[in-house]
Amino acid sequence: MFALPTTIASISSTFFGNVSTDLTFAYTASETKKLAPLIPILKLIGVIAVIRGLVVLRTVAVYGNYARANNTLGKGLTLIVAGVLLVHMKETLGLVGSITGMKLGIDMF
């Protein structure tokens, strides 16, 4: 069984050479201040995606999967999951960071 952080470090070392410094995927303090006003907007987009996903699921339930080609069960579920992940950005980035072993710069929240 492979550990994901070890695998990623091994692949990075293989393709990009032996890097002695700690590579972090994070924003600097000045970039964080610039992105702070976008966070509520992104959370609002997440709420809108959840609502849209619920509407798509309702359409699928009422008309069936084949009555309207644009509204399918998969599309509705994808919108709901993506919206929930976007609303909870801090937790999502923390989860992805802990799984991959990278620092993702979640200090801006």
Taking the whole predicted model, whether its pTM rises above 0.75 is answered as: no
Burial 17-35 (b: 16+ CB within 10 A, else e): eeeeeeeeebbeeeeeeee
* pLDDT tier at 17, thresholds 50, 70, 90: low
Q: What is the pLDDT of residue 1?
A: 46
Q: What is the pLDDT of residue 83?
A: 96
Mean pLDDT for the chain overall: 76
Residue range 73-100: average pLDDT? 88
Least confident range of 64-68, 85-89, 90-94? 64-68
% of the chain exceeding 70 in pLDDT: 55
Residue range 96-102: average pLDDT? 77
**CA 50/CA 40 separation, integer angstroms:** 15
**CA 101/CA 8 separation, integer angstroms:** 8
pLDDT in tens, 26-73: 555 565 667 678 888 999 999 999 999 999 888 888 877 665 666 688
Reduced to 3 states (helix: H, G, I; strand: E, B; else coil), residue 36 is: coil
Contact present, 56 and 76 (Cβ < 8 Å) = yes
> Phi first, then psi: what are they for 25, rounded to 5°?
-100, 85
Domain residue spans in the chain? 25-108
Reduced to 3 states (helix: H, G, I; strand: E, B; else coil), residue 23 is: coil
CA distances from 63 to 52, 78, 80, 107 (A): 16, 19, 19, 45
